């Protein structure tokens, strides 16, 4: 027994030292969660954002990391499965102890993870245009709200192209349905009659567009200028645009303005039949700016492929990541409460000139661009706002929303859905 004890003590000591070394090593890094679909219908769009976060982490580590520690990416694949997004978010926050998460594309995936981030007090940076009607203390919305994309796009079609008939075509989930509800109300407020609005929804991954495109073509024969406003998401865009070409629908006949089609989606299809169709974003790769040139060069170097494109959600990820870094440095901590409170007012240059600023409603100031598809899959900017547009979390055109505001900085409010008439907060607040 006495001979065994020293060995046992030695093993215990060695184990304790090993555990201590492991814990010390773990404490030496700040973990960053990456929650994007790398498989399934949304992989066509989301995989690039995973690579963007890895590039930004790599760049930050080359600068010396953050708070004296290296950043460590924790990548998961929710596989375009909306309930799985919530499971993976919980795993990142509880098991992996990440300081922040960059992720989600569709609103249904964001809605899936939202209760998890609010329950566990995590931080999510959401980098894609969305329908608004939301402001959570735990989410920073670095993509466009409807007043920074959908409304300006419709104004352009109406005023510059003389459009009078409208096809609102979308994938069947919360973002297209809510956006189209806002657009329908907006169009009617501008005097557009109900019979001049056609609304159509298709499931994720929809591939048979022949009859729907035929209906759009027929709708456009009423003697009024017709346009399609597209909130079609993911890989369903490929057969949709292909069918437009098959049926000879050119941008001159019925222009399509898309809110979810950028350079990445166009890189997978023959764009020649699509020349002249439009997209509304807050960034285009083709915009000439020193910051954008540097970003594109950095991306090509990191991804080791000069043919790879950049796009709007990549810029939103870039802005969000760098804002988070600035907030952590200013707070001198990764503690969620300190970082969240510090984020409001943080500014960072966008890639097209001008300064993005985080507003009290957790949305950004953004420029808005309308781009025309070129034969090479890039966009020629045909219209832009004069200045930056502040993101509006709640629509002015929906009866239940026009009196609602969001403000996480005002100590008297600290609420994401504060009714300015009743002076009451309904939902999440933080006092």
Cβ proximity of 135 and 406 under 8 Å:
yes
CA distance 159 to 322: 37
CA distance 176 to 169: 8
User: Could you tell me the two tokens for 310?
Assistant: 């950049």
CA distance 9 to 16: 10
CB-neighbour burial class of residue 353 (10 A; exposed 0-12, middle 13-18, buried 19+): middle
Residue 317 CB-half CA count within 13 A: 28
pLDDT in tens, the chain (431 residues): 444 444 444 444 445 444 444 443 446 899 999 999 999 999 989 999 999 999 999 999 999 999 999 999 999 999 999 999 999 999 999 999 999 999 999 999 999 999 999 999 999 999 999 999 999 999 999 999 999 999 999 999 999 999 999 999 999 999 999 999 999 999 999 999 999 999 999 999 999 999 999 999 999 999 999 999 999 988 888 899 889 989 999 999 999 999 988 998 888 778 887 899 999 999 999 999 999 999 999 999 999 999 999 999 999 999 999 999 999 999 999 999 999 999 999 999 999 999 999 999 999 999 999 999 999 999 999 999 999 999 999 999 998 899 999 999 999 999 999 999 999 998 765 55
Superfamily of domain covering 25-145+289-367: Response regulator (3.40.50.2300)
pLDDT of residue 362: 98
CA distance 3 to 11: 13
Same fold, 25-145+289-367 and 147-286+371-388: yes
pLDDT of residue 27: 66
CATH number of 147-286+371-388: 3.40.50.2300
Number of H helices, E strands in the chain: 12, 19
pLDDT of residue 429: 57
Instruction: Report domain extents, the chain.
Output: 25-145+289-367, 147-286+371-388
Q: Identify the residue whose tokens are 């690579």.
A: 51
CA distance 242 to 209: 9
pLDDT of residue 60: 98
Q: 140 - beta bridge partners?
A: 125
| Helix or strand holding residue 47 (H, E) | helix 43-62
pLDDT of residue 428: 65
pLDDT of residue 430: 56
Buried b (16+ CB within 10 A) or exposed e, 256-275: bbbbbbbbbbbbebebebbe
Q: Closest by alpha carbon to 134, among 178, 85, 187?
A: 178
- Sign of the torsion formed by the C-alpha atoms of 386, 45, 151 and 146: negative
């Amino acid at each position: 027994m006495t001979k065994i004890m020293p060995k046992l003590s030695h093993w215990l000591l060695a184990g304790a030292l090993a555990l201590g070394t492991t814990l010390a090593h773990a404490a030496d890094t700040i973990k960053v969660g990456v929650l994007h679909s790398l498989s399934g219908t949304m992989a066509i769009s989301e995989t690039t954002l995973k690579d963007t976060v890895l590039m930004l982490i790599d760049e930050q580590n080359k600068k010396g990391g953050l708070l004296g520690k290296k950043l460590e990416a924790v990548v998961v694949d929710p596989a375009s499965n909306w309930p799985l997004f919530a499971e993976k978010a919980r795993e990142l926050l509880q098991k992996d102890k990440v300081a922040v998460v960059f992720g989600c594309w569709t609103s249904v995936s964001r809605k899936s993870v939202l209760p998890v981030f609010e329950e566990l007090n995590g931080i999510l940076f959401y980098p894609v245009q969305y329908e608004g009607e939301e402001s959570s203390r735990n989410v920073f919305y670095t993509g466009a709200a409807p007043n920074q994309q959908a409304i300006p796009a419709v104004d352009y079609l109406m005023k510059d192209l003389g459009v009078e008939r409208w096809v609102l075509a979308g994938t069947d989930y919360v973002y297209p349905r809510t956006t189209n509800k806002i657009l329908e109300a907006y169009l009617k407020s501008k005097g557009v009659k109900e019979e001049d609005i056609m609304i159509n929804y298709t499931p994720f991954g929809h591939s048979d567009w022949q009859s729907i495109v035929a209906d759009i073509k027929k709708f456009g024969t009423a003697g009024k200028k017709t346009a399609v406003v597209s909130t079609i998401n993911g890989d369903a865009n490929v057969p949709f645009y292909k069918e437009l070409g098959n049926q000879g629908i050119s941008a001159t006949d019925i222009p399509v303005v898309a809110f979810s089609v950028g350079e990445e989606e166009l890189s997978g299809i023959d764009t020649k039949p699509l020349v002249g169709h439009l997209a509304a974003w807050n960034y285009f790769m083709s915009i000439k700016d020193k910051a954008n040139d540097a970003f594109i060069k950095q991306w090509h170097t990191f991804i080791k492929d000069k043919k790879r494109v950049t796009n709007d959600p990549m810029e939103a990820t870039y802005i969000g990541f760098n804002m988070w870094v600035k907030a952590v440095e200013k707070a001198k901590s990764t503690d969620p409460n300190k970082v969240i409170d510090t984020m409001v007012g943080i500014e960072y240059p966008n890639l097209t000139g001008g300064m993005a600023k985080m507003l009290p409603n957790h949305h950004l100031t953004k420029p808005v661009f309308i781009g025309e598809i070129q034969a090479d899959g890039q966009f020629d900017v045909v219209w832009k706002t004069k200045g930056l547009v502040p993101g509006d979390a709640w629509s002015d055109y929906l009866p239940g929303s026009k009196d609602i505001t969001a403000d996480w900085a005002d100590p008297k409010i600290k609420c994401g859905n504060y009714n300015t008439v009743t002076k009451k907060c309904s939902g999440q607040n933080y006092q």
